[in-house]
Amino acid sequence: NKGNHRHFMEKEIYEQPEVTAHALGHYIDFTQNRVDTVSGIDFARIPSLAIAACGTAYLAGLIGKYWFERYARLPVEIDVASEFRYREIPLSPRSAALFISQSGETADTLASLRYCKGLGLKTGAVVNVGDSTIAREADAVFPILAGPEIGVASTKAFTCQLAVLAALAVGAARARGTLSEDEVQALVKSLAEMPRLMGQVLNSIQAEIELLARELSKSHDVLYLGRGTSFPLAMEGALKLKEISYIHAEGYAAGELKHGPIALIDENTPVIVIAPHDRFFDKTVSNMQEVAARGGRIILITDEQGAAASKLDASHTIVLPAVDEIIAPMIFSLPIQLLAYNTAVFMGTDVDQPRNLAKSVTVE
Ligand code: F6R
């Protein structure tokens, strides 16, 4: 049932404040502002963490890597599952591995899980479908509680995966003593505020996104740029746009632009720059400057502080509320998803069932 939405994808985008709150509530005790001790993986003892997943779940894992490394000082080895299992990565049996999958049935992710079990690693499944094969075979299950996701393009499962990975990373930091109790509390407080901020953003950007999507639907190629956790988000933005609108799109690390992709820039190539006002903002803006100098059309997605600080003329700026760094990837997912969705609606594609794609990929 789509309710009063045109597509399941739209309904699922708008469900995110509710489902992410549900997901976070499973790992965080909001009354005490503390992360519950996660059972199943002994984050205090493992020397490193491996992560394998496919598609959007892989991009959630990449953002998770930034968090586990920064907050819990835990080295993370991550790859797309179809490469992970054949790379013969030197993995210690004292390590643990996480497998992220909405469906819990993705063949390559399941094969990576079996491979790690065979090597003696402790395994954890970050899954939406609780009675799936990956959930059954893993030593520990970390549910993302997004509810059924019908649209082939993943939206709410992505932000719920992020919510769970953020909670696990903060839990790991607490277990490993890599952050002070105050720092942990501050992160937990930011996470607690996230669902409400998501609601606020969803209610405020729709009209603006529709205008931009109309413009985007005329493009043949779109570039997405970001730094830090906004880099995987740039790749997710490109993936979302290409899978439902069939417009060619690529996500790049903002700093990589000058090493090749800048050759693509002309006045017909929109460049979507994802830049919250974080530690990387000035660097990203200077990369944006390089695009502007070559006549590129820039759509800047930033926050209030970023909009005030960038003196550059973007052809359009989407301004979100200023939020703490740990929740920025979830909040900035919203304009990214809505932009892809509305562009596809303009193009008249089958948004919930894009050509050539299946919701669950059970062949390798
Ligand atoms: C993208 C998308 C796919 C899936 C990928 C993994 O919108 O939906 O890239 O993320 O096929 O699927 P799961 O998470 O079920 O393992």
Q: How far is the CA of 58 from the centre of ligand 1 (A)?
A: 8
pLDDT score, position 255: 94
User: 120 pLDDT exceeds 90?
Assistant: yes
**Of 22-26, 33-37, 327-331, which gets the smallest average pLDDT?**
33-37
Q: What is the per-residue pLDDT across 13-25, written as a single tens digit (0 to 9) for each?
A: 999 999 999 999 9
Q: Does ligand 1 come within 6 angstroms of the Cβ of 133?
A: no
φ, ψ of residue 169 to 5 degrees: the values are -65, -40
Percent of the chain with pLDDT over 90: 82
Q: How far is the CA of 55 from the centre of ligand 1 (A)?
A: 5
User: 84 pLDDT exceeds 70?
Assistant: yes
Q: How far is the CA of 57 from the centre of ligand 1 (A)?
A: 6
User: 37 pLDDT exceeds 70?
Assistant: no
Average pLDDT of the segment spanning 218-227: 96
Q: Does ligand 1 come within 6 angstroms of the Cβ of 56?
A: yes
Per-residue confidence band for 292, with pLDDT thresholds at 50, 70 and 90: confident
- Ligand 1 pocket mutation, candidates 84, 106, 152, 244, criterion most atoms within 8 A of CB: 106
Q: Which atom of ligand 1 is nearest to the CA of 361?
A: 11
Mean pLDDT rounded to a whole number for the chain: 94
Query: Residues 298, 238, 221, 347: what is their CA dihedral angle, to the nearest 10 degrees?
Result: -100
Q: Is residue 117 annotated as part of the catalytic site, yes or no?
A: no
Q: Which atom of ligand 1 is nearest to the CA of 360?
A: 15
Q: How far is the CA of 160 from the centre of ligand 1 (A)?
A: 13
pLDDT score, position 77: 97
Give the pTM. 0.97
Q: Does ligand 1 come within 6 angstroms of the Cβ of 132?
A: no
Q: Which atom of ligand 1 is nearest to the CA of 102?
A: 14
User: 216 pLDDT exceeds 80?
Assistant: yes
**Which residue's structure tokens are 């013969």?**
88
Is 63 in contact with 231 (CB distance < 8 Å)?
Answer: no
Query: CA-CA distances (angstroms) from residue 63 to 60, 221, 320?
Result: 5, 25, 20
Per-residue confidence band for 79, with pLDDT thresholds at 50, 70 and 90: very high
Per-residue confidence band for 38, with pLDDT thresholds at 50, 70 and 90: low
Helices 181-204 + 156-176 axis angle, to 10: 170
- Ligand 1 pocket mutation, candidates 56, 100, 351, criterion most atoms within 8 A of CB: 56
- Return the H-helix or E-strand segment holding 140: strand 140-143
pLDDT score, position 206: 93
Q: Does ligand 1 come within 6 angstroms of the Cβ of 112?
A: no
Is 163 in contact with 28 (CB distance < 8 Å)?
Answer: no
Q: ipTM of this model?
A: 0.99
- Ligand 1 pocket mutation, candidates 102, 105, 351, criterion most atoms within 8 A of CB: 102
**Of 58-72, 162-176, 350-364, which gets the smallest average pLDDT?**
350-364
pLDDT score, position 71: 98
Q: Does ligand 1 come within 6 angstroms of the Cβ of 360?
A: yes
pLDDT score, position 35: 80
pLDDT score, position 191: 97
Q: Does ligand 1 come within 6 angstroms of the Cβ of 128?
A: no
Q: How far is the CA of 128 from the centre of ligand 1 (A)?
A: 11
Q: Which atom of ligand 1 is nearest to the CA of 56?
A: 10
Q: Whose CA is nearest to atom 4 of ligand 1?
A: 55
Q: How far is the CA of 235 from the centre of ligand 1 (A)?
A: 14
316 closest CA partner among 332, 334, 305, 302: 302
**Of 56-60, 342-346, 359-363, which gets the smallest average pLDDT?**
359-363
- Long-range residue pairs from 237-242, CB within 8 A, at least 24 positions apart, any chain: 237/272, 237/274, 237/336, 237/339, 237/340, 239/55, 239/56, 239/59, 240/56, 240/153, 240/155, 240/336, 240/337, 240/340, 241/216, 241/339, 241/340, 241/343
Q: How far is the CA of 101 from the centre of ligand 1 (A)?
A: 7
Q: Which amino acid is at 191?
A: L
Q: Whose CA is nearest to atom 16 of ligand 1?
A: 101
